[in-house]
Structure 1
């Protein structure tokens, strides 16, 4: 039996959370090692574990994988979550690039100064509901399928569901005007492996708090 993938990152969501979601959706158990100090991070850099001195790091199949998209693409390919052919993969990748844009906004939101958070939240939700969610809503209605691409769950579905949950944490009623996405959320949430990951006690991480933000800023020397 092969060893479980080992995930090395800060003890929080960040760029690792999508990797956790995708592994969980594939039914793959994984182990985690959290970087809590600058010394841990510097050791990873010095011993050559981080190709570009950046986290996340995933060790699996005898490789040390870095760069979020590369890791996600490897997992999607390995566990048949990247479509049945090259055309499917292209469509999946386009949808994923959209959700990546959403994640980039949400990823930086906890690092927003308190006095700017309300304004930033309005800006983020406005962009998501005007530019991104309407695309998924339209396409789901147009092809009338349960999934974004083809007749089985893909990398794109997992990422979109994660993006929906993350956006709802900022604005709980964000799907009010998107009935197709409401149905999509219900369907994908009920896939057994994903349903399990959404339960309390899983390795799904909570929203970033002040402690997480302070730890990341300290380790990466961001002022």
Structure 2
């Protein structure tokens, strides 16, 4: 039996969340190494595992993969979730990039001072409504949420992480020193 993929990230959603979702969709169990200290992060860098000194990092099939999009592409191809032809693959890539764009927009707001975050919330909500939600609401969310493995992943007690909170933000800032 092949080893479970090992995911290295902070104890939160961030850029790792879409990877968790894809593994859940494929029905693949995975292990997580939660980065809680700067020393853990520096050790991964020193060992040469973080190509661009960034996480997420996924250890799978004897490789140490970084860069969210590259990881998603590899997993989708490996678990036959990348469409039946080039057209479906292109559509999957469009949804993937749109999802990542929205996630980054939201995630970055948590790392701004509270007064700036309040101002940004209105802009984020407007962009989310006008650019992203209209696309995702066209049966996409319902179809995805009803896939049995995804439905299981969305249940309490799964490996899904909660939204960022102050502790998560402080931990990430401490580890990455920004």
Q: Same fold (TM over 0.5)?
A: yes
Counterpart check, 1:91 vs 2:83? no
Alpha-carbon distance, 1:85 to partner: 1.1
Q: Distance in 2 between matches of 1:206 and 1:182?
A: 25
When normalised by structure 1's length, the TM-score is: 0.76
4+ runs deviating over 4 angstroms: none
Partner of 2:26: 26
Cα distance, 1:21 vs. partner? 0.8
1:203 partner SS: coil
Report the 3-state secondary structure (helix = DSSP H, G, I; strand = E; otherwise coil) of the residue aligned with 1:64: strand
Equivalent positions of 1:123-138 (< 5 A) are 123-134=123-134, 136=135
Contact between 2:14 and 2:103, CA under 8 Å: does it hold in 1? no
TM superposition shift of 1:112: 2.4
Partner of 2:5: 5
2-side partners of 1:121 and 1:99: how far apart?
Answer: 18
Which runs of 5 or more residues in structure 2 are unaligned? Answer: none
Q: Equivalent residue for 1:187?
A: 143
Q: Which residue does 1:199 correspond to in 2?
A: 155
Q: CA RMSD in A?
A: 1.4
Counterpart in the other structure of 1:41: 41
The 5-angstrom pairing of residues 55-204 of structure 1 reads 55-134=55-134, 136=135, 181=137, 183-204=139-160
Q: Secondary structure in 2 aligned to 1:204?
A: coil
Verify: 1:210 aligned to 2:159, yes or no: no
| Partner of residue 145, structure 1 | none
Which has the higher relative contact order, 1 or 2, with Cα contacts under 8 A spaced 6 or more apart?
A: 2
> Partners of 1:43 and 1:216 in 2: how far apart?
16
How many pairs are equivalent? 178
